[in-house]
Structure 1
Amino acid sequence: MLTLHAAELLVPGPGRAALPGGAVLVEGDRIARVGPYEELGAAFARARVRRWPGVLTPGLLVRGADELLERTYYPEDTEGTEGAGGPDRISGADALAGLELTESRWGNSARRATQKLLARGVVAVAGRLTVPAVRTAVVRSGLTLIAPLPYGAPPSLDPLAGLTAAEEAFHGVLEAGAPARFAAFAAADERDLLEQGATSCVATVIAGRLLHRRR
């Protein structure tokens, strides 16, 4: 089935001109076409249409996945999260040692973390994961795991944090034949996206599947 994802502004990737009123046509797990929504909508009238506010960009990449997923614990609501008045994540050797975490609990923590990442437009994470349950959680979430990449500031669930240009966090480009993995953000352009951060994400698509949609 063909799906047409349209936004007020399409940003194909680094070094490529932004396209107002642009759209991405997805067939299966690949991008079939990229261009103006009016043209693609007319040429593929039977395609399902998803219209997103703001800007549509390549999905984002998070660095330091081992630090974020294997040395940071994300509690359940019953353990004391933000909603319950407690921390939404716990890190530090002493604090983690006191939790007496098992591999199963690390896996559950990683599943909660991947949902946070998807809600920030993340489609890939870079790092070396050594806990099998954590690695399984990442793979099952749909996120792509790639080899470690250098990073300066401490890793963040928001891959836009501390950057000078949003395109520094893009993973891949939006072009015909490329994997259908991208995100939509409630932002006017790349500069506005950088100011608002990745929590402005309204939708995340990986392998042509809508894995996150802001309610």
Structure 2
Amino acid sequence: MTTLHAADLLITGDGRPPVPQGAVLVDGRTVAAVGPYGELAAAHPTARVRRWPGLLTPGLLHPYGPELLEHAYHPDPREADELGTDPLVGEALAALPMTDARWGASARRGVQRMLAHGTVAVGGEPRRPAVADAVRRAGLRVEPRPTGVPAGAAGEGGVSWDGVPCLDPLGGRSPAEALVTLFPNRGSVATFAVFDVPDEAALGERGAVTCVATVLAGRLVYRRR
């Protein structure tokens, strides 16, 4: 079955002009077409339609994704009373008895939180096997760390801004810097994200917390309820 993902504005990220009322036609794992919704809907009348508010983009690259998963613990919701809900770093992390199994569970929860921020790729290869497995199983792309992004940012483990672990790949960066540069074209893997903002400028102002949907290889892996 083909699915037509339609949004108020489509940003390709490769220099092409934004497409008002744009859409991506997905066939299984791959992109079948990209363009104005009206044209694609007319050409593919049997496609299932998913309508999203706001901005459809290629998705975001988190430059410190591996550090965020390997140097921070993402508590289980059942641990909230004891540990809270924010990622733990530094002394709080050092106080925890971390095993490979616990790192793997933490990484899986961290990946889900990253998907909820429109992250579709991480900058750099994870070194811890349990973390690398969580990234691979989720379907996140592994890209080189962007040029000009230092190996360690301000804060614990190179994963934070102002001392707070930051799940937002836009933390300290503009959307143009964070967008995965190659938008899915026909025949490529269907990976993208949707944000409930009117345009790229608003995405930069409000951040990736506005994500409403993330698609990896044609799978809807996150949808805001």
TM-score higher than 0.5: yes
Query: Partner of 1:166 in structure 2?
Result: 175
Query: Conserved in 2, the CA contact under 8 Å of 1:54 and 1:187?
Result: yes
Residue type of the partner of 1:179? V
Work out whether 1:120 is the aligned partner of 2:117.
Answer: yes
Give the whole-Å Cα distance in 2 for the aligned partners of 1:206 and 1:108: 20
- The 3-state SS of whatever aligns with 1:99 is coil
Q: Which has the higher strand share?
A: 1
Give the whole-Å Cα distance in 2 for the aligned partners of 1:87 and 1:53: 28
Deviations 1:168-197 (A, max 9, x none): 111121422332100111000000011111
- The 3-state SS of whatever aligns with 1:73 is coil
Consecutive unaligned residues in structure 1, runs of 5 or more: none
Mapping for residues 4-153 of structure 1, pairs under 5 Å: 4-80=4-80, 86-92=84-90, 94-150=91-147, 151-152=149-150, 153=153
Query: Partner of 2:203 in structure 1?
Result: 193
Once structures 1 and 2 are overlaid, which stretch shifts more, 171-180 or 32-41? 171-180
Q: CA deviation at 1:167?
A: 2.0
Q: CA deviation at 1:62?
A: 0.7
Query: Partner of 2:190 in structure 1?
Result: 180
Deviations 1:74-127 (A, max 9, x none): 11123237xx782511111x3322112111101110010000011111111122
Query: Conserved in 1, the CA contact under 8 Å of 2:66 and 2:122?
Result: no
Go from structure 1 to structure 2 and tell me whether the alpha carbon gap of 1:175 and 1:54 turns closer, same or farther (over 3 Å shift): same
TM-score normalised over the length of structure 2 = 0.88
Give the whole-Å Cα distance in 2 for the aligned partners of 1:178 and 1:169: 20
Query: Conserved in 1, the CA contact under 8 Å of 2:170 and 2:204?
Result: yes
Deviations 1:47-83 (A, max 9, x none): 11000000100011111223101111111123237xx
Deviations 1:147-177 (A, max 9, x none): 44452444332111212x3121111214223
Query: Conserved in 2, the CA contact under 8 Å of 1:59 and 1:183?
Result: yes
Consecutive unaligned residues in structure 2, runs of 5 or more: 160-165
